[in-house]
Structure 1
Amino acid sequence: MWDALLQMACLIACGAAWRRLRPGGVDPDGARRALTAAVFHLFLPALVLEVLWRNPPGLDALRIAGTAAAVVLLGLAAAGLWCRLARLPGPQAGALVLAAAFPNATYLGLPVLEATFGPWARAVAIQFDLYACTPLLLSLGIALAAAWGRAGEAAHPLGALLRVPPFWAALAGTLLGLAGVPLPPALAGLLGLMGAAVVPLMLLALGLALRWRAGAAGRAGPLLRLLAPALALRLLLLPAAGWAVARALALGPPLLAPTVLEAAMPSMVFGVVLADRYGLDAALYAALVTVSTTLAFLTLPLWHALLA
């Protein structure tokens, strides 16, 4: 696993270096938005369609989705309780709760699982995210962001979900796979070519999203004390809860390990967009993404070793 993580770290570092050096005078945030838009609207739907068409979901997909939903809901409850006890203001609480509860299941989880277990594990990442995390994010997550934030009203959850291209690709791939419709070789080649672009572009965009200065979030010491409970939840406690839930749902090898690793991913990058949109503490959220992603390169091998 170390070799795979080292390769990914190099691509993420390229994105982080781009943010600092600005080659060609290209704005890093503009480059990140362009990359993520291309992945989100074009390349990721192609990958999702191919993977779910070739691997139609069964009972294990429900177990994976159930584990993912339990992890997110437990994260929301635990982080929300801690923020209430700490009497944090709404914008800070909203940022910390979303960052603690929602893992980076696709942008980092998919390449980690594929490199660690093989191409078959891509289906685990997609099912974990699109069958549970994304619907919860676009319903409960947005509602909480709107309640704690300073701006914006919550969008209708169904409308928000219907505007997610990978969701439509997941629906089409699931139905075609369950119906037994063969994947035409020419289309398979096209989808495979497009899907191959997802991992490097996602990792580069992830590096562009990392912010190494706390800025408005404060000095390093107070910031880390504020982040510590959310980091412990995201990287240690929620993966342990995910393992327990997956075992209770009778999810066994070889699917157990990649499912728990999905639960152990660092904070979701897309939450920065929600923080900006709904008036949460975006600087605090970005700091949590940066620190959790950095620490994940230590905690993910630990979880992999424990699961092995």
Structure 2
Amino acid sequence: MMSTVQGLAPVLLVIATGWGLTRSGIIPPMQRGGIEKLAYFVLFPCLIVGTLAGAELGALPWRALGATLFLSVVVMAGVCLLLKKPLQRRLRLDGPGFTSIFQGSTRWNTFIALALAGSLYGGEGLALIAVAMVAMIPVLNVMAVAVLAQNTGSTTPSLASLGREIARNPLIAACVVGLAAAGLGLGLDNVIGATLDIFGRGALGVGLLAVGMGLDLSALRRPRLAHWAGCALRLVLMPAVGLAFAMTFGLSGTALGAALIALAVPTAPASYLLARQMGGDAELMAELITLQTICAMLTLPLWIALVGAV
């Protein structure tokens, strides 16, 4: 438990620093978008390519990990859809409000997952989270867009446009490039590798600062039942479902820890942008992102400690 706290503490401190930089005015809120884009389009792709290219993929249980994460996402989405009417009635949600609960329950913050896996498990943890991206990001994007379109009256994008959007995702592209480099045995002990290493070193710090800059604590003076339900679904039920699948597929050690991290981190900041673009409840989405990030500071150590006990 103590090693878990020690691994998580730096992640939380950097997030808190990001929040403090915005609150103090050192970094104006208008600059947050540029910092997020720097991390999303440049730094994290470099980190992923460099990590995967140098990883011994044959030693990673990528099939069991991918199956665990994919099935966890599908089951969680199914639970949300089956409980749609009870959730709407009990939580007093309209269609757009339900989409925020759906996104908040299923999507994940890759910035925090990569930082925490790297802090706890080193390069192997980073490689496993990259595998998690391949397993989770495409299906999550398709499901989120479909649910938003169905519940907001917006136009459903074609499969071709969804495919193009996923293909343009820089994290997915980085995973493909890194996996290809590893599969072909292309060494990166050269200028390209050194360049990727320099960029990659800045990825985790800048990404976590961006997470902290996006927190708006003033919006959570009076959390509603919908907020707490969104936290429970994402931070408690999702990792519990994932743990059941992980045990079924025989995951253990670092792979089990990486799986639980991917399933127990708060929802993705990109959920807010999609909600705003497609007519979802963007305000509720922003509040869920903030509250889940805060609550995850308590739940993540418990899940990781449970993994250690298992």
Q: Please state whether the residue corresponding to 1:214 is helix, strand or coil.
A: helix
Structure 1 residue 241 and structure 2 residue 246: aligned? no
Instruction: Give the conservation status (yes or no) of the 8 Å contact 2:102–2:144.
Output: no
Shift of residue 203, structure 1, vs aligned partner: 0.6
Flag the 1:276–1:150 CA change in 2: closer, same or farther, 3 A.
farther
Aligned counterpart, 2:67: 66
Deviations 1:200-257 (A, max 9, x none): 1111100111121338xxx715x2x112222112111211111111121222223112
Deviating beyond 3 angstroms after TM superposition, the runs of 4 or more aligned structure 1 residues are 56-59, 150-153
Instruction: Give the conservation status (yes or no) of the 8 Å contact 1:56–1:173.
Output: no
> Which structure 1 residue ranges, 5 or more long, are not aligned?
none
Q: CA RMSD in A?
A: 1.9
CA distance in 2, matches of 1:168, 1:103: 18
Shift of residue 150, structure 1, vs aligned partner: 5.2
CA distance in 1, matches of 2:167, 2:108: 21
Aligned counterpart, 1:291: 291
Structure 1 residue 210 and structure 2 residue 215: aligned? yes
Shift of residue 95, structure 1, vs aligned partner: 0.7
Letter aligned with residue 78 of structure 2: A
Correspondence list, 1:132-151, <5 A: 132-149=135-152, 151=154
Instruction: Give the conservation status (yes or no) of the 8 Å contact 2:69–2:132.
Output: yes
Letter aligned with residue 32 of structure 1: R
**1:115 counterpart (119, 128, 142):** 119
Instruction: Give the conservation status (yes or no) of the 8 Å contact 2:148–2:154.
Output: no
CA distance in 1, matches of 2:273, 2:56: 32
Flag the 1:178–1:35 CA change in 2: closer, same or farther, 3 A.
same
Aligned counterpart, 1:175: 180
Shift of residue 199, structure 1, vs aligned partner: 0.5
Q: Please state whether the residue corresponding to 1:144 is helix, strand or coil.
A: helix
CA distance in 1, matches of 2:31, 2:148: 26
Aligned counterpart, 2:130: 126
Aligned counterpart, 1:303: 303
Letter aligned with residue 79 of structure 1: C
Aligned counterpart, 1:43: 43
CA distance in 1, matches of 2:173, 2:186: 17
Shift of residue 146, structure 1, vs aligned partner: 2.1
Structure 1 length-normalised TM? 0.90
CA distance in 2, matches of 1:94, 1:187: 42
Shift of residue 147, structure 1, vs aligned partner: 2.0
Aligned counterpart, 2:26: 23
Shift of residue 185, structure 1, vs aligned partner: 2.8
Q: Mean Cα displacement is larger for which, 57-66 or 92-101?
A: 57-66
Correspondence list, 1:235-274, <5 A: 235-274=235-274
Instruction: Give the conservation status (yes or no) of the 8 Å contact 2:51–2:123.
Output: no
Q: Please state whether the residue corresponding to 2:217 is helix, strand or coil.
A: coil
Deviations 1:12-31 (A, max 9, x none): 1222223333226x3x1x32
Letter aligned with residue 115 of structure 1: S
Shift of residue 152, structure 1, vs aligned partner: 5.2
Instruction: Give the conservation status (yes or no) of the 8 Å contact 1:56–1:174.
Output: no
